[in-house]
């Protein structure tokens, strides 16, 4: 009888919270509209692919080898070339961002090659964009090596041919690993932002006192707040996963069961973080700011979403190991691009689950049913 009454009281609290969500348009915005907008921004707005690189070609030689090399650059899918007649024009194009680099074929290029010497080429790049500069240097080196082997004969060819292959992401498209990473950022934002206002809103509206006057227990109060937002978070996760596969053509090689398990455990930790903020800070504005800075920014900068964790300083690498979003990011990318790799999932599930228990335990401890706290 007591168990039945306990469940009835819990369901009443859950129903009351769902009614509150229905009456609050911001909940629809955070759980439904915001994930879609962020996914579009991250998926289409952020890319690490080079695209077509704009390159000026200054041929000071005019010989057959120089013309052949310039033609190879012009027909390359990596470059959009623009012939220039002098160095001043090339420098002007570079300064005005008309081109991103300049290939300089020196005047004695053909003559040196005809004598059996080593022709010298110069590639000038715009150092204000280091990533683009690296792409130009790498692609130019590859084209020059291929041209050398094809044009100057087998004696100039390298004895070993390297044929790179990209596993799990054969086209090496950045969108295929950025979108799963973006989902982790979005889910962190939703989890912390949705629940960081829950108790703070009750305090500001004066309804917390009425809640304390009821016979509900702290556990019922905690679950009554947690369950509705857990459902909303999982709904948002489903929307993001479907959008990733349909809109961005990200392959999904894992199982739906693994996705549900990983998302559920991570969502509990994110919601626990938001509830802890809400029960500690009783103002909605302060709680929202705390949720944003403690959830969104670390997820964006320290999860491995864009910046490789292994290249970070030691102190930051240690900090990332304390953030559940870094584990969820690794798991989600593995799930989408590789499949169900439980050697990766199980340690991450253990840590995320432990953190969820700790955070929800702190919420339960701080959720004292009295007014002078």
* pTM (2 d.p.): 0.76
- Alpha carbon of residue 120 to chain centroid: 41
Q: Is the pLDDT of residue 364 over 90?
A: no
Average pLDDT value for the chain = 83
Residue 209: per-residue pLDDT: 67
Reference 185, options 72, 297, 56, 30; nearest CA is: 297
pLDDT band at 34 (very low <50, low <70, confident <90, very high): confident
Residues 287-325: pLDDT tens digits? 888 888 888 888 888 888 877 787 788 888 888 888 999
> Would you tell me the crossing angle of helices 198-205 and 218-246 to the nearest 10 degrees?
130
pLDDT band at 81 (very low <50, low <70, confident <90, very high): very high
Edge to edge, what strands does the sheet with 79-84 contain? 79-84, 53-59, 101-105, 121-125
Residues 159-185: pLDDT tens digits? 444 455 666 777 667 788 889 988 999
Comparing 208-222, 268-282, 322-336, the range with the smallest average pLDDT is 208-222
Tell me the three state secondary structure of residue 166.
coil
Residue 165: per-residue pLDDT: 60
Burial-class residue 234 by CB neighbours within 10 Å (0-12, 13-18, 19+).
middle
Reference 263, options 294, 230, 293, 309; nearest CA is: 230
- Structural domains of the chain sorted by starting position, each given as residue range(s) with its CATH number in brackets: 12-47+173-366 (no CATH), 53-156 (3.40.1710.10)
Angle at 173 between CA 171 and CA 176, to 5 degrees: 115
């Amino acid at each position: 009888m007591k168990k039945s009454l306990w469940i009835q009281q819990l369901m009443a609290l859950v129903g009351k919270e769902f009614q509150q969500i229905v009456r609050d348009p911001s909940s629809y915005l955070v759980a439904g509209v915001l994930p879609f907008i962020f996914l579009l921004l991250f998926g289409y707005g952020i890319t690490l692919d080079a695209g077509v690189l704009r390159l000026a070609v200054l041929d000071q030689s005019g010989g057959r080898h120089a013309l052949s090399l310039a033609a190879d650059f012009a027909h390359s899918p990596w470059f959009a070339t623009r012939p220039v007649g002098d160095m001043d024009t090339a420098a002007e194009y570079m300064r005005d961002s008309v081109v991103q680099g300049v290939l300089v074929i020196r005047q004695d290029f053909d003559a040196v090659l005809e004598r059996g010497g080593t022709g010298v080429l110069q590639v000038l790049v715009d150092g204000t964009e280091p990533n683009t500069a690296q792409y130009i240097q790498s692609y130019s080196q590859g084209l020059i090596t291929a041209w050398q082997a094809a044009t100057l004969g087998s004696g100039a060819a390298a004895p070993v041919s390297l044929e790179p292959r990209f596993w799990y992401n054969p086209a090496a498209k950045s969108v295929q690993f950025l979108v799963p990473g973006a989902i982790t950022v979005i889910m962190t934002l939703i989890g912390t932002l949705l629940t960081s206002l829950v108790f703070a809103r009750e305090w500001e509206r004066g309804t917390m006192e009425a809640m304390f006057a009821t016979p509900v227990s702290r556990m019922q109060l905690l679950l009554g707040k947690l369950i509705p937002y857990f459902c909303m978070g999982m709904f948002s996760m489903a929307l993001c996963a479907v959008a990733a596969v349909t809109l961005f053509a990200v392959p999904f090689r894992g199982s739906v069961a693994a996705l549900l398990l990983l998302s559920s455990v991570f969502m509990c930790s994110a919601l626990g973080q938001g509830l802890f903020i809400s029960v500690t800070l009783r103002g909605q504005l302060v709680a929202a700011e705390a949720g944003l800075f403690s959830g969104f920014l670390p997820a964006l900068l320290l999860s491995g979403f864009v910046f490789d964790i292994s290249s970070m300083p030691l102190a930051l690498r240690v900090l990332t190991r304390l953030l559940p979003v870094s584990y969820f990011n690794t798991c989600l990318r593995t799930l989408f691009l590789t499949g169900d790799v439980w050697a990766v999932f199980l340690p991450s599930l253990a840590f995320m689950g432990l953190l969820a228990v700790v955070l929800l335990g702190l919420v339960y401890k701080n959720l004292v049913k009295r007014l002078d706290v």
